[in-house]
Structure 1
Amino acid sequence: MAYLSRLRNPETERYEHHGLNAVFGEEAAEQALQTSHWEVLESFLALSLLDQRDDVERYLEASPLSVRRVLTSWEKTRAYLSFLPTQSTPAQKELFDANLQLMIRHLRSADADERPRQAP
């Protein structure tokens, strides 16, 4: 979902993929990417919370930034909402947001539990 959201130009709200545009044409590529983005969101929301969490953890582990840094940023800015397709319904946005907030709290808590305790 993050990859597909990065293909969307924030100024035009259109998906841009030079290779697909060259092979299939702009309109067909746009429709295919928009449909794929929608389907990825639907598939993600259909997962159990544990599977969603595992998916988010894999994303975070692949990030060049530290997990703690990304979680702190997400907690402050809710930047993960930019991963959503523009045609997401309000209910999908609310569910995605609530689930991600829950996962952020869980992952931050797990991170705190793993940090070594300082001796008194």
Structure 2
Amino acid sequence: METGRRPAEDLWRRTLSQLPTIYGRLVYLSTLRNSDSGRYEHHGLSVLFGEDQADLAMRESHLVSFREWLKLNLEQQKADLDLYLCGLPTDRRTLVESWSRLAPYRNLSPAAASDPEKMLFLEDLEILLESLKNEYASAGRRPADSRPR
């Protein structure tokens, strides 16, 4: 089953390096985690390296990506999130409103992250969403002196 490469290297080379944003990597990796078992499942990696090695590679990659995101300042996180949002087909205003209500980002933290890391991630995301909501709200308003009288 071993190909001479490490599973995490293979995952990075074939998949994660193709994702242009850290936030996108977090979304992708979290979708590979089975919510019932907590194990990461990826058919291709499992065939190449076995289920346990594949799970470990995705688990480690998720934690590395998560911590990479936390190292960014809010401005960098916003730029990364903006780039991620640009690649989605949904209207940004609708998406931000939906995220504010449903908070899907709450499922993006890896299980191995510490509680303070998870709290920081959530706090940062909520600040970013509030900032985006304000941006979209002000972009939708007309300047005061152009209102009809």
TM-score (norm 1): 0.93
Alignment counterpart, residue 55 of structure 1, candidates 80, 92, 96:
80
Partner of 1:86: 111
**2:94 aligned counterpart, secondary structure:** helix
Instruction: Give runs of aligned pairs for residues 1-120 of structure 1, distance below 5 A.
Output: 1-117=26-142, 119-120=147-148
Structure 1: 5+ residue stretches without partners: none
Larger Rg: 2
Show structure 2 runs of 5+ residues with no match.
1-25
Alpha-carbon distance between aligned partners in 1 of 2:84 and 2:31, rounded to the nearest angstrom: 14
Give distance in 1, aligned partners of 2:65 and 2:49.
21
My pick for the range that moved more, 37-46 or 57-66, is 57-66
- Output the CA distance in 2 between the equivalents of 1:61 and 1:37: 22
Give aligned pairs, total: 120
Measured after TM superposition, the shift of residue 97 of structure 1 is 0.7
Say what the alpha-carbon RMSD is for the aligned residues.
1.4
Following the alignment from structure 1 to structure 2, what is the Cα–Cα distance between the partners of residues 12 and 107? 34
Name the CA distance, whole Å, in 2 between partners of 1:84 and 1:62: 21
> Mean Cα displacement is larger for which, 20-29 or 64-73?
64-73
Q: CA deviation at 1:65?
A: 1.5
CA distance in 2 between partners of 1:96 and 1:73 (Å): 18
TM-aligned CA deviation for residue 116 of structure 1: 4.7
**Runs of 4+ off more than 2 Å:** 116-120
**Alpha-carbon distance in structure 2 between the residues aligned to 1:77 and 1:116:** 25
State the TM-score, normalizing by the size of structure 2: 0.76
- Identical pairs, percent: 34
Secondary structure at the counterpart of residue 59 of structure 1: helix
